Amino acid sequence: MPKFDKMAYASADEMIFGQAKSPVKYGRDFTVGGGYVFPELVPHPRPGTEATKKSLMKEYEKMVTDVLDRCVAIGIPGIQVELEHVYQMTKNPDWGGEIAAQTKHLMEEYYRKFGLRSAIRATIADYRKPDEEDIRSSVALETILKAFEESAVGGADNLSIESVGGKEISDYCIVRQDIRGVLFGIGVLGSRDMEFMWKKIVEIAQKHGATPGGDTNCAQANVAMFMAGGYQDRSVPHTFAALTRAIAAARSLVAYEQGAKGPSKDCGYEDVIVKAITGIPIAMEGKASACAHSDLVGNLIAACCDLWSNEAVEYHDMFGGTTSAVFTEILGYDVALMNTSIELGTAKQLQEMMVYSDKYRDMHGFILSPENAYEIGKAIVENNTSYYSRAKAAALKAGELMMNDSQLKMSKFERESLQNALRILDGLPDKEEDFISECIDIYKKLVPGFNPANYGL
């Protein structure tokens, strides 16, 4: 059940990059949210290297060494490396565990020789299939939990996941612009699945002395955002994708209600709203993640970050070195600028430039600007009687903000889409049990494989 009933910050003006109400310390003298932004580099192995444990471990050894070498070479004082599991690392839990141990060994060597502060995030792959199996009792679930165990034992400092509960419904509904189904799939089913998963993840982390990190709605809200795409794309309205993001914030909050401490996952674009509510440090990705995907919030999304990430970059050679080294340098200089502004007392000016460079570029940037994210957060905590009520309130607030700002330009197509979605949201039942009953009747018929029992219903 929802737990947060108040905001961590008195106003959006208190929120700034590098500083969180509840900093987290782990790894080798590594504190996130304690007054300093660190880079988080996510290296990705080349196709084929995952064929055997030996070849994959060798690939990770080279990638991580390149990251640490470049930090020392240009004077980056600290870094977090994310071991974002390819499926082979989760399906073979010992692989993920041994790669974590190997990475920890390298980081300890660089800390001893050069004083380089560092930490490891292990993100376990959620390969459960909600439309094909019992996701609360399956081989996939057992293997995923074993992978968490092995990674923590191996030396991962932070345990995270990109959970997929409710995806069978949201996938069906996003392409059809069915806001009721998105609210059900993400706001209700996704939240219930996170409650189930995060109780177990937190228990494992506490057992092994690791920090339970965070989750992201990458599998759903990011699908809507990337389908909305740029100015030339019309597969999904940008206003609809923004409503999906607001709903996702109410859902991603559940990890922290179950005991996660942060920092959050980098691809959780909703995390600025989560930070406003919880005060946890957050990882974000923007312009330096163009190696993985394009978006319309490259600068703005850094406004409140505590880790600054590149999302994922496949390991190859570039003129400036390997991709791991090059993107470490790019991230390192980005955070050096942020940290210098903190030291000079000009962080708010830099934040303002980040925000206004993208705030009116797109609806996503608009609702994720700190002041609007804060308002959406307030709507969530003020309507916390159920997962449904707070997710619905978040969407309605995001819609209200978009409709009432004359500087936000939208086409007739975008405006009509938004107005239609808001009319549907306004007409939905007041009580969660009535909404769930209505949705089960509808989506059991429309979505093959949808099983309410996967969500305790």
pLDDT of residue 3: 86
- The residue type of 147 is A
pTM for the model? 0.97
Handedness of CA 139, 195, 455, 374 (dihedral sign): negative
- Which residues are paired to 80 by β-bridges? 40, 119
**How far does Cα 156 stand from its chain's mean position?**
18
Cα–Cα distance, 401 to 44 (Å, whole number): 38
Q: Are 240 and 181 in contact (CB under 8 A)?
A: no
- In sequence order, what are the residues at sequence separation of 6 or more whose Cβ sits closer than 8 angstroms to the Cβ of residue 368? 245, 269, 270, 272, 273, 297, 300, 301
Structure tokens given for 425: 């949201």
Task: Tell me the three-class secondary structure of the chain, residue by residue.
Answer: CCCCCCCCCCCHHHCECCEEEEEEEECECEEEEECCCEEEECEECCCCHHHCHHHHHHHHHHHHHHHHHHHHHHCCCEEEEEEECCHHHHHCHHHHHHHHHHHHHHHHHHHHHHCCEEEEEEEECCCCCCCCCCCCCCHHHHHHHHHHHHHHHHCCCEEEECCCCCHHHHHHHHCCCCHHHHHHHHHHHHHHHHHHHHHHHHHHHHHHCCEECCCCCCCCHHHHHHHHCCCCCCCCCHHHHHHHHHHHHHHHCHHHHCCCCCCCCCCCCCHHHHHHHHCCCCEEECHHHCCCCCCCCCCHHHCCCCEEECCCEECCEECCEEHHHHHHHHHHHHHHHHHHHHHHCCHHHHHHHHHHHHCCCCHHHHHHCHHHHHHHHHHHHCCCCCHHHHHHHHHHHHHHHHHHCCCCCCCHHHHHHHHHHHHHHHCCCCCHHHHHHHHHHHHHHHCCCCCHHHHCC
Q: One digit per residue, pLDDT tens: the chain, 457 residues?
A: 778 999 999 999 999 999 999 999 999 999 999 999 999 999 999 999 999 999 999 999 999 999 999 999 999 999 999 999 999 999 999 999 999 999 999 999 999 999 999 999 999 999 999 999 999 999 999 999 999 999 999 999 999 999 999 999 999 999 999 999 999 999 999 999 999 999 999 999 999 999 999 999 999 999 999 999 999 988 999 999 999 999 999 999 999 999 999 999 999 999 999 999 999 999 999 999 999 999 999 999 999 999 999 999 999 999 999 999 999 999 999 999 999 999 999 999 999 999 999 999 999 999 999 999 999 999 999 999 999 999 999 999 999 999 999 999 999 999 999 999 999 999 999 999 999 999 999 999 999 999 999 999 9
pLDDT of residue 234: 82
**How far does Cα 319 stand from its chain's mean position?**
31
